[in-house]
């Protein structure tokens, strides 16, 4: 795992974007596959990818996107659905065609139907050649995507109940807590680990505890983010506040000095 700690959220966005582009150069073929995360943490990263595209250093017009997760029961047209969020915050920003965007299907007549669609989503990722670079944020409780604590470390895309803390954290996007969906469909931790590179960005002090647990805690379903420890090509980019709980800081800085991201 590469852990990069930088002074500001802006610098974190720039380094994380470079890690994404470097990962695509290394791992992607003719049709790159990018795993997309929602949340405030990667917004600066997407802006940096857009800037790279404008400079002619990147082109996402042939890129296929797979979202990490989606709420169950929200209309696709609902502005807080992750489909609409990703269209607004990623497709329209970096120039990834909306028709290339895949999002888990959170609609169905029954739980079984949604479960079958979730399995089909996992298969669709494989059929597209697998995710080359997966962009990740982390929840304050250590979740990746919507894999809440106690998620199986080998889980595949499936329907999940949202944790109370996650619903509270996300209530700001809805008209009150009771409007926040109770369930989601999320890529599993096993699905996420199949990506060829993981790039996680975390910013701010409310992520410090989750980051310390994910990077330096035991590999445990209690902190889904700890699966990064199993991945052979995981890059974690942090600002100072998110890194505040790390004990092994000196080593990360020494190791990062040897990285050549060209920034």
User: What CA–CA distance (Å, rounded) separates 71 from 160?
Assistant: 10
Please confirm, yes or no, whether 148 is among the known catalytic residues: yes
Q: Which of residues 179-238 bind ligand GLP (CB under 6 A)?
A: none
Whose Cβ is closer to ligand GLP: residue 196's or residue 207's? Answer: 207
Q: What are 148's two structure tokens?
A: 């809440």
Q: With binding defined as CB under 6 A, does residue 65 bind ligand GLP? A: no
User: What CA–CA distance (Å, rounded) separates 166 from 148?
Assistant: 9
Q: Which of residues 20-59 bind ligand GLP (CB under 6 A)?
A: 37-41
Strand 69-71: give its sheet, edge to edge: 69-71, 183-186, 158-161
The catalytically annotated residue of 143, 170, 231, 239 is 143
Q: With binding defined as CB under 6 A, does residue 139 bind ligand GLP? A: yes
Whose Cβ is closer to ligand GLP: residue 23's or residue 181's? Answer: 181
Whose Cβ is closer to ligand GLP: residue 106's or residue 137's? Answer: 137
CB of 57 to ligand GLP, least distance (A): 25
CB of 17 to ligand GLP, least distance (A): 16
CB of 239 to ligand GLP, least distance (A): 12
Q: With binding defined as CB under 6 A, does residue 134 bind ligand GLP? A: no
Please confirm, yes or no, whether 248 is among the known catalytic residues: no
Q: State the catalytic residues.
A: 69, 141, 143, 148
Provide the binding-site residues for ligand GLP, judged by CB under 6 A: 37-41, 68-69, 137-139, 145-146, 166
């Amino acid at each position: 795992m590469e852990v990069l700690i930088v002074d500001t959220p802006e610098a974190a966005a720039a380094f994380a974007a470079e890690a994404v582009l470097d990962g695509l150069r290394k791992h992607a073929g003719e049709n790159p596959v990018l795993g997309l995360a929602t949340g405030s943490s990667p917004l600066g990263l997407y802006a940096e990818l857009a800037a790279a595209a404008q400079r002619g250093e990147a082109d996402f017009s042939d890129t296929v996107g797979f979202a990490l997760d989606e709420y169950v029961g929200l209309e696709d047209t609902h502005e807080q659905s992750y489909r609409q969020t990703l269209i607004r915050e990623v497709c329209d920003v970096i120039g990834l065609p909306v028709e290339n965007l895949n999002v888990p299907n959170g609609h169905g007549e029954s739980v079984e139907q949604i479960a079958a669609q979730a399995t089909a989503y996992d298969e669709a990722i494989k059929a597209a050649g697998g995710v080359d670079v997966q962009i990740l944020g982390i929840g304050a409780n250590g979740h990746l995507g919507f894999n809440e604590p106690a998620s199986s470390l080998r889980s595949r895309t499936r329907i999940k109940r949202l944790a109370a803390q996650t619903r509270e954290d996300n209530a700001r996007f809805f008209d009150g807590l009771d409007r926040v969906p109770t369930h989601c469909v999320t890529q599993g931790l096993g699905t996420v680990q199949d990506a060829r590179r993981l790039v996680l960005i975390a910013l701010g002090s409310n992520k410090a505890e989750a980051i310390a647990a994910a990077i330096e805690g035991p590999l445990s379903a209690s902190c889904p983010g700890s699966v990064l420890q199993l991945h052979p090509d995981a890059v974690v980019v942090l600002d100072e506040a998110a890194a505040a709980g790390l004990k092994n800081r000196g080593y990360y800085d020494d190791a990062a000095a040897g990285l050549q991201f060209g920034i």
